[in-house]
């Protein structure tokens, strides 16, 4: 049996300026072959990566770090593989909690084989009969983001009017459905007709619009939510946030999950309507999913029955082959993904 293998990796060439391009990443085969064993006493786990999650925050980590971005996560290092959430199979382990053959999810490098610190991984219960790729999304960090962001930050009540931007994406599709389960009236925005159709016909949104075809976002919101918004689940920032502020109700809540439209701008949009936060006594809060990691077991208890009973729809966009990773990751920043963007490695 083979004891060493070649390891294909996705490397960051240099810190990125502006919006990341495929050419900012390169595929290499590491010069040193990988030994398929961990060193005794290392407490490490060696895995073969099966699925990698493509996430907007990874674009931020491709930029030169600033004090603000370092408050979120450490940046990637030029010349080294990028990293993110992956689903992997254990090949060897020096940690007694993991044995060969176990399936895990957690932070791994973008490469075929990784040696990882077991503190950053979760064992997958393979008796739960769902596709393994779900642990890059609905049953992992993405699901927790939607759950904690909606239920903990937004304080939803039955009958609330909820607006979600990037509504058909990984997080958005779940937030919209959680809000429907809660008995809310739910409206979403997305960037194509295909995505708007998904919102209305698959995820059960009450109304939706294609923001790229709306000359005036304020009018679009007034058309869809004439009585105003109780909860805004913010995924995009910029002009959408400015228009939403005009349409929030008094004591509205805004969960700031992401602001993808602003991450790679040299000059960010200047908002006009921030005083509405005071006038309407709006509560607006940013959050990161990992702040809620202690809620993970409670989240699984909540979400698994809905998945089993097919009461939650979940759309993935799976691209095959590590060499197609750069295109998949960059495509996300241009709205090319339809649903949760996943890269199948092996």
Ligand X SMILES: NC(=O)c1ccc[n+]([C@@H]2O[C@H](COP(=O)([O-])OP(=O)(O)OC[C@H]3O[C@@H](n4cnc5c(N)ncnc54)[C@H](OP(=O)(O)O)[C@@H]3O)[C@@H](O)[C@H]2O)c1
Stretch that binds ligand X, among 121-129, 186-194, 199-207, 216-224 (CB under 6 A): 186-194
DSSP notation for 253-308: EEEE---TTTTT-SSPPPPS-TTHHHHTT-EEEE--GGGGGGGHHHHHHHHHHHHH
Q: Is residue 9 at the binding interface for ligand X, with CB under 6 A as the rule?
A: no
Count of CB atoms within 10 A of residue 69's CB? 16
Cα–Cα dist 141/236, whole Å: 18
Count of CB atoms within 10 A of residue 1's CB? 3
Q: Is residue 332 at the binding interface for ligand X, with CB under 6 A as the rule?
A: yes
Place of tokens 């937004």: 154
Rounded least distance, CB 3 to ligand X, Å: 38
- With vertex at residue 49, the alpha carbon angle to CA 47 and CA 54, rounded to the nearest 5 degrees, is 140
Which of 15, 287, 302, 306 is close enough to bind ligand X by CB under 6 A? Answer: 287
Site for ligand X in 29-48 (CB under 6 A): none
Site for ligand X in 155-184 (CB under 6 A): 166, 169-172
Q: How many residues bind ligand X (CB under 6 A)?
A: 30
Q: Is residue 84 at the binding interface for ligand X, with CB under 6 A as the rule?
A: no
Cα–Cα dist 62/56, whole Å: 11
Nearer Cβ to ligand X, position 44 or 82?
A: 82
Q: Is residue 217 at the binding interface for ligand X, with CB under 6 A as the rule?
A: no
Bridging pattern class, strands 45-53 and 113-116: antiparallel
Nearer Cβ to ligand X, position 43 or 284?
A: 284
Q: Is residue 55 at the binding interface for ligand X, with CB under 6 A as the rule?
A: yes
Q: Can you give the binding site for ligand X, defined by CB under 6 A?
A: 55-57, 142, 145, 166, 169-172, 190-192, 195, 235-236, 257-261, 287-289, 332-333, 335, 337, 340-341
């Amino acid at each position: 049996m083979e004891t060493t293998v070649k390891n294909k990796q996705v490397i960051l060439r240099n810190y990125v300026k502006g919006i990341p391009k495929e050419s900012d990443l390169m595929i290499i085969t590491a010069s040193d072959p990988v030994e398929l064993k961990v060193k005794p006493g290392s407490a490490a786990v060696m895995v073969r990566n099966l699925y990698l999650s493509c996430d907007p925050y990874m674009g931020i980590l491709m930029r030169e770090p600033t004090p603000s971005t370092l408050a979120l996560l450490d940046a990637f290092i030029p010349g080294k593989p990028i990293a993110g959430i992956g689903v992997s199979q254990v090949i060897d382990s020096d940690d007694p909690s993991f044995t060969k053959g176990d399936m895990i999810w957690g932070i791994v490098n973008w490469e075929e084989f990784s040696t990882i610190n077991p503190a950053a991984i979760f064992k997958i219960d393979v008796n739960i009969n769902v596709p393994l790729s779900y642990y890059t999304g609905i049953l992992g960090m993405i699901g927790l983001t939607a759950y904690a962001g909606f239920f903990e930050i937004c304080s939803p009540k039955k009958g609330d009017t909820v607006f979600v931007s990037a509504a058909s994406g990984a997080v958005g599709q779940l937030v919209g459905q959680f809000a429907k389960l809660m008995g809310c009236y739910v409206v979403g925005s997305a960037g194509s007709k295909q995505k708007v159709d998904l919102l209305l016909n698959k995820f059960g949104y009450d109304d939706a619009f294609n923001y790229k075809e709306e000359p005036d976002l304020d009018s679009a919101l007034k058309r869809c939510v004439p009585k105003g918004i109780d909860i805004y689940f913010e995924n995009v920032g910029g002009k959408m946030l400015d228009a939403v502020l005009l349409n929030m109700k008094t004591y509205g809540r805004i969960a700031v999950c992401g602001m993808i439209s602003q991450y790679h701008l040299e000059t960010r949009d200047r908002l006009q309507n921030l005083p509405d936060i005071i006038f309407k006594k709006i509560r607006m809060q940013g959050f990161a999913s990992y702040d809620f990691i202690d809620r993970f077991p409670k989240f699984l208890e909540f979400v698994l029955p809905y998945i089993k009973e097919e009461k939650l729809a979940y759309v993935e966009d799976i691209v095959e082959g590590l060499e197609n990773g750069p295109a998949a990751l960059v495509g996300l920043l241009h709205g090319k993904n339809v649903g949760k963007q996943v890269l199948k490695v092996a």
